[in-house]
Structure 1
Amino acid sequence: MRYGLIGPGEHAQENLLPALSGLQGARLEAVAARRLSSARAAARRWGVPAFTDNWTDLVDSDQIDALIVAGSPHLNADVTARALSRGLSVFTEKPPAPDAPALDKLIALEASAPAGTVAFVGFNFPYGQPYRQLRTTLRPHGELRSLDLRMVSAKPTTTAWHCSTVLESLLQGLGTHAVDLAIRELGPPDAVHAHTARIDDVRIAVRITMSYADGRLATLLLGNYSNRLECRWELVTDTAVVGVLDQLSTLTLSRPAGTPGAGLLDRKEVLRHDWPSRRGGYGRTGYSSELESFHHSVLNGAPSTSPLSACRDVYRVLDEVLRQVDNPLGEAS
């Protein structure tokens, strides 16, 4: 299948294109970038025959069967809209749109696109090998009751993607990942509460609580105060079995002493598994599996496993967070 790429930036070249190159039956045929020199450099690096500085030419051409776009939310939305209108399947990096109204327009185009047209939003973490093993291992131990997620990074410390505040930029970046994962596991929340702590003039911590009428709970901690990306998931079932995934590399499962075991915890109270960081990077992070899922859907006419329509509740939660905490750093609008 012939692919085109719009936005050959650092993320695309460090994560998406290496994952795509390992996908059987996939071939990158064309690259588009804002600057012709960037498109040419990416084409040379990846052995791509065609490149351009006009992304509309790429979308409108007949030289590709599917498209990957990895740009700003505004670019992602513009490219996705044009692709869906033409019946071209598109993998768009998150965030797929700058705001909820723009997302709603994309969802309408997704619903009216020609049969077989696939839209896929690149939320990679649920597709990673460690996270999938965490969920598979917990499944015999009952229903999830609690989810606690910590996702902090060194950025953004300035506004990005045409956002008006650092908080909005943080929510567009890390927040979309965290809320998407919580909703995949527990569904749309019945209530959302948000609080922030100002660390210094450019750094903040954001605590989001998503609660449910039946007592389930998701708590999300986001921040831009770390010196690297740090991720930690803790999931608890209604049999008090706890699964913890730290940095996509260490999985720990435990159950209370004296309770009956099941699955991998049969006759064990604690189980630990480590993934060496030097092996299977794109499998651990989910980039390979998410592209494989998109590729499979396009080839077989199967539904997208990460459609645009699934993002609507993510944007609703983030809009509510912004309504409650607004501008904790006091930035000029």
Structure 2
Amino acid sequence: MSIRRLMPGRAALRYGLIGPGTHAQENLLPALSVLDGARLTAVAARRPDAAAEAARRWGADLWTDDWTDLVDGEGTAEIDALIVAGSPQLHADVVPRALARGISVFVEKPPAPDTATLEKLAVDERGAPEGTVAFVGFNFPYGQSYRKLRDTLRAHGTVRTVDLRMVSAKPTSPVWGCATVTDSLLQGLGTHAVDLVLRELGGPDRVTARRADIGTDRHALHVLLEYADGRLATLLLGNYSNRLEYRCELVTDQSVVGVLDDFNTLTLSRPSRTPGVGVLDGKETLRHTWPGRRGGYGRTGYSTELESFHRSVLHGEPSDSPLSACLEVYRVLDEVRRQTGDRP
């Protein structure tokens, strides 16, 4: 028998990408490339050479330097869903037009430049044709290591405190049309941090924020979120590290402590003479580690967030990360801006 070639089947969902920048190339496109039942068919970028190169590299059939071709033009018939990874203003331009056409959209955070614009996008989301999904790409809560933390703690009471540290080396100059570096920092790391806490604890009753200036272009922001029932969340955001550093500590009402360091190491402990049984007693700890080369896009959440969006579109399920859920995140950040002098 002669050798046979297996012909690829038609993907269940055809994806278009608007914005093949560094983030998309390093995180979203690799995650999409291994998503079962998905195929990238079109790429749009401002520069023709960037669009063409991304299409060649990731196997798309079509490219354009005008994103409207994928929403209102001839490319619309070639896609079932969009991934949008650009500036907040670009997101705000693309999302309502796509939703109105019944095109489901995965939009990177931040989805809008300000709260007023996001409120309009939430209205567009509610008015979209049935089965049209909007999903905001917050990867941190979808990380496999974070979900391991939450799944483990679920058997040990409810979370009472959250301590979250997110510091990076950037930005050191205003980006995305922001007026200041700290406002840019809030748009970048701040949206991630507040979203993670609000998914865990809900909207706070009180927000307190302070800023420390570290030189002319480096800053630290300390944010305290307080709840009427005594729960607390503390956030440290900064641009003074030489890389992204992420540390999340959750403490339950049974005094069980879970600490996740940089997606890679999860440590669990509990003081002696507290409720519960098992290895978490006295000075013992339970540690999980994820080797850096194993399942990186799942561990950091990029694969699993796209899987969630893909499943919602494919089966008509509600979005796990809708635009409307971001409104409280933006309102908390507006209060932080007011208290730190960075109101737009």
Give, in whole Å, the separation in 1 of the partners of 2:281 and 2:270: 10
CA displacement, residues 286-313 of structure 1 (integer Å, 9 cap, x when unaligned): 0000000000000000000000000000
- Aligned match for 1:187, one of 192, 198, 202: 202
CA displacement, residues 11-45 of structure 1 (integer Å, 9 cap, x when unaligned): 00110000001111100000000111110110111
In structure 2, what is the equivalent of residue 45 of structure 1?
Answer: 57
Amino acid corresponding to residue 153 of structure 1 in structure 2: S
In structure 1, what is the equivalent of residue 69 of structure 2?
Answer: 57
Is 1:254 the equivalent of 2:269?
A: yes
CA displacement, residues 60-105 of structure 1 (integer Å, 9 cap, x when unaligned): 2211000000000000111111111111100000000000010001
- Aligned match for 1:27, one of 39, 50, 54: 39
Give, in whole Å, the separation in 1 of the partners of 2:257 and 2:210: 26
Q: Secondary structure at the match of 2:40?
A: strand
Is 1:278 the equivalent of 2:293?
A: yes
Q: Secondary structure at the match of 2:78?
A: coil
Unaligned runs of 5+ in 1: none
Normalised TM-score (structure 1): 0.96
- Aligned match for 1:137, one of 152, 158, 179: 152
CA displacement, residues 190-233 of structure 1 (integer Å, 9 cap, x when unaligned): 00000011110000000000000000000000000000000000
Contact 1:261 1:267 (8 Å CA) reproduced? no
Q: Secondary structure at the match of 2:27?
A: helix
Residues 271 and 34 of structure 1: CA distance in aligned 2, closer, same or farther (over 3 Å): same
Contact 1:35 1:53 (8 Å CA) reproduced? yes
In structure 1, what is the equivalent of residue 25 of structure 2?
Answer: 13
In the TM superposition, residue 249 of structure 1 has moved relative to its aligned partner by: 0.4
Is 1:224 the equivalent of 2:236?
A: no
Q: Quick one: percent identity of the two aligned structures?
A: 71
Unaligned runs of 5+ in 2: 1-12
Q: Secondary structure at the match of 1:51?
A: strand
Is 1:297 the equivalent of 2:309?
A: no
Give, in whole Å, the separation in 2 of the partners of 1:263 and 1:313: 38
Give, in whole Å, the separation in 1 of the partners of 2:112 and 2:137: 12
Matches within 5 A, 1:159-170: 159-170=174-185
Give, in whole Å, the separation in 2 of the partners of 1:32 and 1:120: 19
Give, in whole Å, the separation in 1 of the partners of 2:282 and 2:177: 54
RMSD, aligned CA: 1.5
In structure 2, what is the equivalent of residue 317 of structure 1?
Answer: 332
Give, in whole Å, the separation in 2 of the partners of 1:262 and 1:137: 14
Contact 2:272 2:281 (8 Å CA) reproduced? no
Give, in whole Å, the separation in 1 of the partners of 2:149 and 2:207: 26
Q: Secondary structure at the match of 2:15?
A: strand
Structure 1 runs (4+) greater than 6 angstroms displaced: none
Contact 1:140 1:262 (8 Å CA) reproduced? no
In structure 2, what is the equivalent of residue 308 of structure 1?
Answer: 323
In structure 2, what is the equivalent of residue 68 of structure 1?
Answer: 83
Q: Secondary structure at the match of 1:62?
A: helix
Normalised TM-score (structure 2): 0.93
Give, in whole Å, the separation in 2 of the partners of 1:30 and 1:75: 18
